[in-house]
Amino acid sequence: MADPVLVKVTLDGRKVEVVDGWVCLAGVREADHLVPVLEHPNRQAIARNVPDATHVAGRLPLNHAEAAIAQGAMAASQREFDASPAGITQRIRVAVWAKSAAEGAE
């Protein structure tokens, strides 16, 4: 288990960190991937309320520098093999999502 990587601190003082490949808010998992604002269904509201946001992780808007930190930490954690039940569950979930997305594209 790698040490948490600090991405930012929210205005109310909570830490946004990457822990074991997840973006977490105050230690609670938010997202396992980042979505570019341009691809987000609520991009207009995000752009209006957080104009410097380039990505979102769950409900957390991130600017370019914060997204780069989060993406780098998430990629580094994926290079480490996690044989725990949570790690195995995560790999199965990713595989199922990829398979369902491929079947849906046909």
Cα Rg of the chain (Å, integer): 15
Report which residue type is found at 62: L
Let me know if residue 96 belongs to a domain: no
pLDDT at 31: 94
Global pTM reads: 0.72
Question: Checking phi first, is residue 27 left (phi over 0); if not, alpha (psi -120 to 50) or beta?
Answer: left
**Residue 28 falls inside a structural domain:** yes
Residue 23 maps to a domain = yes
- Helix (H/G/I), strand (E/B), else coil: 18: strand
User: Is 24 part of a structural domain of the chain?
Assistant: yes
106 — pLDDT class (breaks 50, 70, 90)? low
| Residues in contact with 15: Cβ distance below 8 Å, sequence separation at least 6, in sequence order | 4, 6, 8, 9, 25, 26, 27
Does residue 63 have a pLDDT over 70?
Answer: yes
Confidence bin at 17 (pLDDT 50/70/90): very high
Q: Is residue 93 part of a domain?
A: no
Range of the domain at 30: 5-81
Residue 106 placed within a domain: no
pLDDT digits (tens, 9 = 90+) for 90-99: 889 888 888 8
Total domain count, the chain: 1
